[in-house]
Amino acid sequence: VIGVVIGKTDVRSFPDRKNIGCERYTFNFTIRDSPTYFINVQSWGREEYIRALSESFRVGDCVTIENPLIQSKEAEREEKFNPVTPSCYKLLLSENHSVVKTSSCYETDTRLLSLLHLPVKDPQDYYSLGDIVANGQSLHGRILNVLAAVMSVSR
């Protein structure tokens, strides 16, 4: 699978249920290879493997994923913490079997770069900041999608 990384989480650790006293590490990212299709990728493993993998690429990089495991996703649980994708599957990376290689998008396919700027939600499923300000009371307690742009960043 070849795609551009459009999102990425931080590395997290959890107690290992099989090996009491040990930790398992994980992080997720989302790749896109067309305007319509993108998929979440989950990786689990030892701290050294997960940290090295996470540090090997960033959002905007093109990656090639070899030998991922394809799993059905548990929509309710997984989509709380990851982008909602059009696929009912996710890719799972295994330290022993999977490989992630990074390359320049220019080397891979210049069309992938334009995918970075496409929203992952339906354009009719957004609220503007003005709508939220004007209708704040009626929206209280609801989960909303907001499409916004960063105008500046400063210290």
**Domains of the chain in sequence order:** 2-114 (2.40.50.140)
Ordered per-residue pLDDT tens for the chain, 155 residues: 889 999 999 999 988 888 888 889 999 999 998 888 999 999 999 999 999 999 999 998 899 999 999 999 886 666 666 777 888 899 999 888 999 998 766 555 677 777 777 777 776 777 878 888 888 788 888 777 777 777 888 88
User: What local confidence, expressed as pLDDT, does residue 41 receive?
Assistant: 95
Q: Between the CA of residue 29 and those of 26, 38, 90, 128, what are the distances in Å?
A: 10, 11, 10, 27
What lies within 8 Å, CB to CB, of 106 at 6+ separation is 113
Asked if 9 contacts 33 with a C-beta cutoff of 8 angstroms, the reply is: no
Number of other CB atoms surrounding residue 155 within 10 Å = 2
pLDDT of residue 81: 67
Give the separation between CA 42 and CA 107, rounded to whole angstroms.
25
- pLDDT, position 120: 75
What local confidence, expressed as pLDDT, does residue 140 receive?
80
